[in-house]
Homo-oligomer: A and B are copies of this chain.
Amino acid sequence: MNSLNIVKIGGSVLEEESSLQQFLDDFGRIEGPKILVHGGGTKATALSKELGIPVRMHEGRRITDAESLDVAVMVYAGLINKSLVARLQGQNCNAVGLTGADLNVIPASKRKPDSIDFGFVGDIETQEMNGYFISRLLDEGVVPVFCAITHDGDGQLLNTNADTIASSLCSLLSENYEVRLTYCMDVEGVMLDKYQPDTLFETLNSEQFHHYKQEGVIKDGMIPKLFNGFKALENGVHKVSIKHSKNLLNGTETALIS
């Protein structure tokens, strides 16, 4: 099978021009089929504030009312996605910027209100996804760039966590490719002490994940990322690693192992 690299970026690398340029240069050097997935919550929060739209969170997850969804679509699918596409084109990387609504790649279900109503948030069922056009584009040397927007198949756009989009694309495409998923962050990987580089876990298995989560060493945004990563491994993804965006092309990382 051909190998396929799926790289997810988010956080500060999208905010700092020099980091972003280095990342895009490195991403451009990855050979063979590749997909970029990006978040952009910081910029969406900034635009919401400028427009006087309250940003509501519940346990680290964004609550998406109609106005917040418009902001998410403008920032993720518009500003960030198309800027990345133009910059990749500028380095002769033939990119196409997509939401999950485009080509109906990622249909999702609006999350049912439980104790909390998350609003226009979409949950993905991998078996509903459509990989045909993505495979065709990859075969033609095109680089799909996905943002954190899906749709309900009935005309409604939905907001979906970018880490989840990345791991879902991995599961979808692992039938036809040897998929490597890389979550780029602004830390080197999973560390016992984030200020001590020598405490980096070079590998992490599921038991260690649960142990260190209980100990409070692994916390916040790292938890859903690792959860998605181990799920991708279970679904046949060849390799999942977590690394700093500046280390895209070298081996400093935490590799998840089953």
Question: CB within 8 Å of B: which residues of A?
Answer: 50-51, 70, 73-79, 81-83, 85-87, 89-91, 94-99, 101-104, 133, 136, 140, 142, 149, 151, 153-157
In the complex the two chains form, what is the Cα distance from A10 to B78 in whole Å? 18
Residues of B near A73 (CB, < 8 A) are 78-79, 82-83
Contact of A86 among B103, B142, B157 (CB under 8 A): B157
Give the residue name and chain of the B residue nearest to A142 (CB): B103
Give the residue name and chain of the B residue nearest to A95 (CB): B102
Residues of B near A151 (CB, < 8 A) are 85-86, 89
- Taking a contact as CB atoms under 8 Å apart, the answer to whether B99 and A104 are in contact is no
A85 to nearest B CB, angstroms?
5
19 intermolecular pairs with C-beta atoms under 8 Å apart = A50-B51, A51-B51, A73-B83, A74-B74, A77-B78, A82-B99, A82-B157, A85-B99, A85-B151, A86-B156, A89-B153, A89-B155, A90-B153, A90-B155, A91-B155, A94-B104, A96-B103, A97-B99, A103-B142
- Taking a contact as CB atoms under 8 Å apart, the answer to whether B78 and A79 are in contact is yes
Residues of B near A70 (CB, < 8 A) are 79
- Taking a contact as CB atoms under 8 Å apart, the answer to whether A85 and B101 are in contact is yes
- Taking a contact as CB atoms under 8 Å apart, the answer to whether B74 and A86 are in contact is no
Residues of B near A82 (CB, < 8 A) are 73, 77-78, 99, 101-102, 149, 157
Give the residue name and chain of the B residue nearest to A99 (CB): B82
Extra contacts, 16 of them, besides A85-B102, A87-B155 (Cβ < 8 A), are A73-B79, A74-B75, A74-B78, A82-B101, A83-B157, A86-B101, A86-B155, A86-B156, A89-B104, A89-B155, A90-B154, A90-B156, A95-B101, A97-B102, A103-B142, A133-B140
In the complex the two chains form, what is the Cα distance from A79 to B81 in whole Å? 12
Residues of B near A133 (CB, < 8 A) are 140, 142
In the complex the two chains form, what is the Cα distance from A101 to B91 in whole Å? 12
Residues of B near A87 (CB, < 8 A) are 155
The 7 closest A-B pairs by CB, nearest first: A78-B78, A90-B155, A74-B74, A74-B78, A86-B151, A86-B101, A96-B102
In the complex the two chains form, what is the Cα distance from A82 to B75 in whole Å? 12
Most chain B C-beta atoms within 10 Å of own C-beta, residue among A73, A89, A103: A89
In the complex the two chains form, what is the Cα distance from A102 to B82 in whole Å? 8
In the complex the two chains form, what is the Cα distance from A237 to B85 in whole Å? 30
A20 to nearest B CB, angstroms?
11
- Taking a contact as CB atoms under 8 Å apart, the answer to whether A96 and B94 are in contact is no
